[in-house]
Structures are given as C-alpha cells and as structure tokens.
Amino acid sequence: MQRRHFLRQAGATLAVASTAGLAACTKQSVAPTSPAGALAPTSVRLLADGVELAPIKAKADRITGVYVCTRPFRAAGPRIELERLGHKAIVHNYGHGGSGWSLSWGSSTLAVRLAQTTHVRELGVIGCGALGLTSALVAQRAGMSVRIYAKALPPDVYSMRASGLWTPDSRICDAEHAPAFAERWEEMARISHAMYQSLLGVPGRPIEWIEGYTLSDTPAGQSHTDIADEPEYGDFHERVRDLTPRSVDLAPGSHPFPQPYVRRYTTMMFNISTYARMLMADFLAAGGKIEVREFEHPRELLALPEATLINATGYGARALFKDESVIPVRGQTARLIPQPEVTYGLSTKNLSVVPRSDGLMVQSFGETGNFNNSDVTPDRTASEAAVKQLADLMASMRHG
C-alpha cells in the first residue's frame, strides 16, 4: 500500500480533518528510555481520550511469515466491460491496484449487471480472489447458478496477502484518468461500504472498525510522500468523506508517542483469513461449485459450458488476455504472532501496522523499485528491518 494513501486513510481519507486540537490534558510522567529494540512497558496510556494501548511485541523471532503480492494497477482504472470471444461473453473485472478488497462488492455488482444483459442463468467466474468470490456471490444473489474456475484457492491467492485496510482509492488509477473514472469509483465505493456495514458483528469478526495513530514530524498535510518512480494516483477521498468518522489531532503532551504530530483515525479493517473463509462458505452453501483449473490462452475458455464468464483474474489477466495495461506493483508485509490485546493501527513515515486477528501486519513503504516489479520473492531482511523500526518506536514511547 502506498504511503500517501495510508496517510489519507489514517488521517484524512474518507474523513473530515479536525481543525481543533484536543483540550489540555493531564501531563504524563516519562520513564527512562529503554534500550533500542527492547519491549515496551506493560501498558502505555493516551490520557487525552482515556485509551490504554497494549505494547506491540516487535521482535524478529515473532515473524510468522513474509508475504509478497503484485497489485494489478491500470492507469485508466479497473477494466469492467463486456467482450465477445467467439460464442462467449466475457465480462472483465480486474485491475484494481491496491483497492481490490475495498471495492470488491461494488465492482462485482457492476460486473454482474453486465453479465445479466446476456440473459443467462448459469455463470462461470474465472479466479477465486477478492473479485472472483464477490462476483460469484453477487451473481448467486441475482438468481444465477455459478461455478468458479481457478488455478488457486484461498489462502493461496494473492488477495490473501493484502494488508487488510479499507483503502478504496489506493493505486486505483492515475491522476490523468481520475476525472473520467470518478463517478464509477464513487458508486463502487458506496456499494462496497454498505455491504461491509452489514457484515459488522458477524462471528469471527471478518470486518471491524479500528482506531489508529498517524505519527509525523510535520503537521498534517505538509509531508511529501510521493514515490519518485510511481505515477501520481487518482485521489477521490473527498467524494465519500461522509462514510467514516472524523480524524482528530492529539495535542502535544497528550499522547505517548515520540513524534510531535499525532492524529487519531478510525477506519475499517478486514480480517482477511476469516473473511475469505466466510465468503467461500457462503458461496458453497448457496450451491456454488469450484473447479481447480488453469487457463493459458483465452481460447481455452470456449470449451467451458457457461455462455457468459466473469474474468476476475487480477494480475493474471496480463498474461491470460495479453493486457499490457496491467502493471504489477510489488508489496511486501510481515506477519507477527497475533496479539489480541493490540487493537490499534500505526502509521509513520516509512511504516504501517495493521492489528488483524490472524497476526499483526507490518509493512515498510516509501521505497522505490516496486512499480512495474513482478518479483514475488520475499525479502526477509527488509521485513526484519521494518520490525526493528517498530521495536524502536515501542521502546521510545512514554508510559504512565
């Protein structure tokens, strides 16, 4: 996930920035500084709003996995259109950059609408990631019989390697194409958001709201976080600023963080392991079928029994349909042993933390070399360095 989009989410994306700091609060005592990399004390308190934060156990020996994905960026935005292939109708639904989970329900709704124009009752879906699963479920709810064809199933799909935050405009298109794409994006974002609200409180917490803290050495809006070798991306957060709670600037001295500027944000988080299992279970319970199968050329699709197909292959569409407009953007996360007591997210200039139930996701960002990079080889050294940054942050926090 690109740094500036995380900051928007943390401080301003889908939110109205607070213009007033919090009132003066009780001054906190400052403990002696811990050695670098040492664990933080048993608790640290945000006296400004009465929140007590559990320390994160940031140690390299707690890393349970390092995961790399290739986010499928298209400059013009996702491809959601109907194409004829011989006697087949192919509805494309791919190319969502870093917004696949966030926009999946809205994007899939648009794709199924196109499929319905072919007046079929049986539908095939190619791919079993975020867009494939939601396309299949939306089609089932529209009365169709659906079969998924996929070379891999969760947890072995790239969608499972996402960070898990609601980031509907992360690498969704470039700035040049943003005006033409804005209305379609807003429709997808609002449909998806409404669906996620209906999933709150479901057993296993597939979707939940969390709070987090953006830490900076400069006031909000004054940091420059564009990555030199990446394009300027479309920015749509103002169109749906009514969907999430407002962020709040914390007054100096009212928080335990070493950075002078701290903003508390509220956002949605996907516990992807639980969420993907729920989607799979819902699809199968509704009579859905899955066939593990890999396609190397579009002509192989002609042999399938369904007359209409939804292509939700993500980055795989670049090879399958020879779509050179799909650009891979490499992203890597490390997962730490779960800490149920850690319920808050963090974002600094080069680091983000997402408190998912299946593990604390730690990601460094801001570096060049990820755009148009299809290498999915994990770099454990980089993830260990990110965890070390987090350990240093924990050790530098004031506690009471």
- Supply the DSSP string of 227-280, one letter for each residue: -TTSPPBP--GGGGTTSSPPBEEEPTTSSS-SSSEEEEEEEEEE-HHHHHHHHH
pLDDT digits (tens, 9 = 90+) for 214-260: 999 999 876 656 789 999 999 999 999 999 899 999 988 888 899 99
Q: How far is CA 277 from CA 54, 70, 144, 147, 293, in A?
A: 28, 22, 21, 17, 20
pLDDT at 226: 77
pLDDT at 254: 84
| 26 close to 10: Cβ distance less than 8 angstroms | no
pLDDT score recorded for residue 307: 98
Which amino acid, one-letter code, is at 102? S
In this prediction, the residues of the chain whose per-residue pLDDT falls under 70 are 1-50, 222-225, 399-400
Q: How far apart are the first and last CA of the chain?
A: 33
What is the structure's pLDDT at 223? 60
pLDDT score recorded for residue 222: 65
β-sheet bridge partners, residue 289: 147
Q: The whole model's pTM is what?
A: 0.87
Task: Answer yes or no: are the C-beta atoms of 159 and 129 closer than 8 Å.
Answer: yes
pLDDT at position 252: 85
Q: How many residues does the chain have?
A: 400
- Rounded CA gap, 379 and 67, in Å? 9
DSSP track, 259-270: SSEEEEEEEEEE
In order of 140, 152, 156, the CA distances from 129 in angstroms are: 17, 9, 9
DSSP letter (8 states) at residue 371 = B
Predicted confidence (pLDDT) per residue in 345-387, tens digit:
999 989 999 999 999 999 998 789 999 999 999 999 999 999 9
Round the CA-based radius of gyration of the chain to a whole number and report it: 22
Q: Say what the pLDDT of residue 385 is.
A: 97
Which pLDDT value is given to residue 20? Answer: 31
Q: Which helix (H) or strand (E) holds 361?
A: strand 359-364
Within 13 A of 222's CA, how many CA atoms are on the CB side? 7
